[in-house]
Copies of this chain bind each other. A is one copy, B any other.
């Protein structure tokens, strides 16, 4: 058992190096160092991957003597990973990686022009390669499930459909009602110098008690969280002069991810159970901190009461209620990453439906722009004039990720379900007004963070809330909150 753990600890060191190489690439690396850096990352990650499918590991997993439940969980999760990755022939894995790298570069160049013909051929290849991988990994109902399982273990497309279809209808109706009957939030869109926004983000993470002995806040084009090593989980944000909401909520969102990673027990570190339960669960925490907590009136009352707002007199001159309504403004728009909490899920549902059809062979890549534009108008009600802000806006598909998108909305849904339980047990609003986040962190830690990846998401959700994942709590949360924000009855 100890030998097995040591082997995992060894692999983790290479993953740690890779993580730092990636973090540096997005933050401080000199511009011309990119091509060589890509080679270094590829070498080190393939080596880590090779170790993770080495026969030696299979033997150790079979022969290890677990001494307790934790050991048994390590073996169980370890075996699932091992058997899954072992199935994929190394040539197929490498071809997929290589194609994904080229395709993502192509996409980066082509995105500003929106010229889909430039990215079509490699996207077709990636769909083909992913279908092959799905066939090899195996599935019961449909190929897409095999890919989904990599991000959300145990989840099936049919289950998601059951959640997403009512959510889609609910969202479309809610949006209409808000637009027709809602009282618009006040216009608060001040230009705020980058330096000041930076100061505010720094104050925010101190206020949330992000431990800077174990983390950092830096700047990157796309905000991200990177667990680089033990006691080293870093976040980034971005500052745009006329969009202060962007930096505030990027910072809180990434803080949520980092808190999860930093709260997983140290003795799980490097081991198969030493990460978050799933992509959806990970996202549930970033969304919980960003939206449920960070976009609540009580949170903003705390920001005002504890003087954090003093850094931004441009906001302070407004009432706390106005600021709260402003940060919860609902507005149809083209870009997923800029969408509000309600519309956001429509962006995801559209992507889920499309990628599921692509992988299951019901849709061809050449038809992607048309179907995108058609569904976009149907769900979100806007005409897409360019692929730049349409089906070419996100890197996921062009980087070879299929099955990732739904975890974003699952995150929203999980967050609301967790919140429903948490507020039964904890005086949530009172604590936020006081700026006392410790009891909330402790609750989340005990119920979720401390479990690492021992449980699959459905199991964990049932343990935490008594129920498997369900969309009702999210819809109730939206109704309750936005009835107040827009002063209507939803």
Contact = CB atoms under 8 A, between A and B. Distances in A.
A40 B213 contact: no
A230 B44 contact: no
A232 B25 CA distance: 11
A219 to B, nearest CB: 12
Contact of A229 (B28, B36, B44, B229): B36
A20 interface: yes
Given A10-B43, A20-B24, A28-B28, A36 B216 contact: no
Given A13-B39, A20-B21, A20-B24, A231 B44 contact: no
A33 interface: yes
Interface in A22-43: 24, 28-33, 35-37, 39-40, 43
A268 to B, nearest CB: 14
B234 A30 contact: yes
Contacts of A33: 214, 228-232
A16 interface: yes
A43 B8 CA distance: 13
A16 B33 CA distance: 12
A24 B28 CA distance: 10
Interface in A203-246: 211-216, 218, 228-232, 234
Contacts of A372: none
A16 B30 contact: no
A389 interface: no
A211 B32 CA distance: 10
B215 A44 contact: no
B44 A14 contact: yes
A255 to B, nearest CB: 14
Given A16-B40, A20-B20, A21-B17, A30 B215 contact: yes
Given A17-B44, A44-B17, A30 B230 contact: no
A336 B211 CA distance: 37
Counting from the closest, the 7 A-B pairs by CB-CB distance are A33-B232, A36-B230, A13-B43, A32-B231, A32-B213, A17-B17, A13-B40
Given A13-B43, A24-B24, A36-B232, 17 more contacts: A14-B43, A17-B17, A17-B40, A20-B20, A28-B28, A28-B216, A29-B232, A30-B234, A31-B213, A32-B231, A33-B214, A33-B229, A33-B230, A33-B231, A37-B229, A40-B229, A44-B44
22 contacts: A10-B43, A13-B43, A14-B43, A14-B44, A16-B40, A17-B17, A17-B20, A17-B40, A20-B24, A28-B218, A30-B213, A30-B214, A30-B231, A32-B214, A32-B232, A33-B214, A33-B228, A33-B231, A35-B230, A36-B231, A37-B232, A40-B229
